[in-house]
Structure 1
Amino acid sequence: MTHNATHDASNAQPLRENVNRRRRNRKKPSHGKDHADRANVVVSVPADAVADDAHDLRENLKKTTDLRDDLLRQRAEKEHERARARAQERTRPQPKSGEASHQTPRAKTQNKKGRNTQDFSPSLAPPGLKLVVGDAAAKTLGRKMHGRHVTYVPNFFCAEADESAHATLLEEVSAAGSSEMWIPWHEKSHFIANDRDRHGKWKQDSPMFTAVVEKIAAYFQMDVKATRFNLYRDEEEWKPYHHDAAAVKKDKARTQNCTIAVSFGATRDVAFEHAKTGTTVFLPQTNGSCYAFGHDVNVEWRHGVPQVPEGLRRAEGEKCARVSIIAWGWVDQDRDDVSSFAN
């Protein structure tokens, strides 16, 4: 037993030495060289890409900054509103003990944050269009016109029920003209009496036409420069939205700042369409009535006579024809914003 143990120990010794030698000779990784190699690697990036990334970064930073500023501004505005409301509440007289509050329901509404009201501050913005009603019984309008006013005078030339003026106008004008008297106008939307027919002498040969123009001049204190006779034979005929010439021609603007129209026959709407927003305002024109508008209305609004919808048109044979006599000229009128409020 002792011999065998000694033999095993002597055999194990060389084995351990071989193992240790292999371990010592095993090649260890050279980390220093790897680091040096990686340090020498150069990544090539296009200059345009770097510039684009920098631009995007600046844009994102600006958007973030703007958003932050907007939030801070909104927060400051809300705090200012709350502070103002608190200050108003502190200065409001409080009822004494035992006395009833005299605060009106409207005042209570004003204390609350507006739901159906955007601003409780008074507005001094001038009207885009203001309707003024004149008295037909007076000799003149009796007030100075304003460029933003549309003046309406019912029964201006005759009572609404009086159809004689309409009939007389058609008879006189037709008799005073030639066979080429009536010409289609505005892309055949309606007809006009030809101003060049007989060199315009037909106007002088119609006493009723002359009387209408003279009444326009006297009532509105107008220096009449031009006239026209429009004919709408039925409710299918109409007039497109348009500006009158003084709004687009400098030579006309020097002598014309007002348009006046007198209506005879069937009731038709005259409509105003805002040139920028498209908002429309309709004003029915009854037999014998008159409307007038100044410079600002002509520039900021277009006007026309809308076609009557088919379902509302009257049958043939019924009284649906309409005549309008137009006068263009100069009327002294205010143009400032404050005067547009005058009544």
Structure 2
Amino acid sequence: MSAREQIAQLEANIGQAIIGQRDVIRRLIIGLLANGNLLLEGLPGLAKTRAIKAMAKNLEADFSRIQFTPDLLPADVTGTDVLYRDEHGSEFRFHSGPIFANLVLADEINRAPAKVQSALLEAMEERQVTVAGKTHKLPPLFMVMATQNPIEQEGTYPLPEAQMDRFLMHVLITYPPVTDEVEVINLVRGEEVMAAENAAAPDTPSETSAVIPQQAIFDARREIATIHVSDAMVRYMADLVDATRRPAEISDSLGRWIDIGVSPRGSIALDKCSRAHAWLEGRDYVDPLDIQAIAHDALRHRLGLTFEAQGEGISANGAIDELLRNVALP
């Protein structure tokens, strides 16, 4: 199979385990293809962790889960030097932490203090970990997928803007429609029946979908790197980001709502994600629909809203909607 067919199969396999969250699955795939890190936010029980686990299950990759808690230490994430003794003497050897995996789930990332959150910064940006002055490289296929929920703020540590900016996309997960809720109930019931049957007959081989090899991801990335982005599309992305830095010149509403504009990482995220989106749609060029399709996920966590916007009930999504309406194509 070609790289495109294998990625389509990966998306389909994840879709069998996750009902009613097609947009979330597509964002997970885009993040993987764009070689970025994702922050998933949604209320409890909306399959954030399940979606990430489904991706790891259907991809030939090492998976690691870190449950963030207030008593977690940086060494619990990165690893540490351990003293080994034998008949020849003693020496320190590096014992790698759970960050040394292909797919890393940072579950409820905002429940750990800033010192632990900062342990992820070097790994997310430079794809390496430095412990006791020594640098240890992470695997070529590496992706951090962090989750958090917008409620239960007591006992949590909000992510600082500097760390939020290092996430390629901030994906919001909402409640599924009632028709999908029915399918979720049936899916979970079917899984319970299958688990009971496997427990009763443990030697019976279970049917599993073919695991997609890592090479398919690298092949897809090479093809995405050749996606054509015209000068007009590059200027459109730059104009969208620039408009967040001088919002009063774009519209009165944006002037009231936006306090801090998007960093250059936002432009890079638009470029990477729009090319991945175009490739998934089967095109070898980026058009405005690709940029607009991922604009909210690439920009919402990079915007700083004013108190006036919050008083009017305007979210980052509302500000980006207004942005897309007022920034014209070149």
The normalised TM-score by structure 1 is 0.23
Higher strand share: 1
The normalised TM-score by structure 2 is 0.24
Rg larger in 1 or in 2? 1
Higher helix share: 2
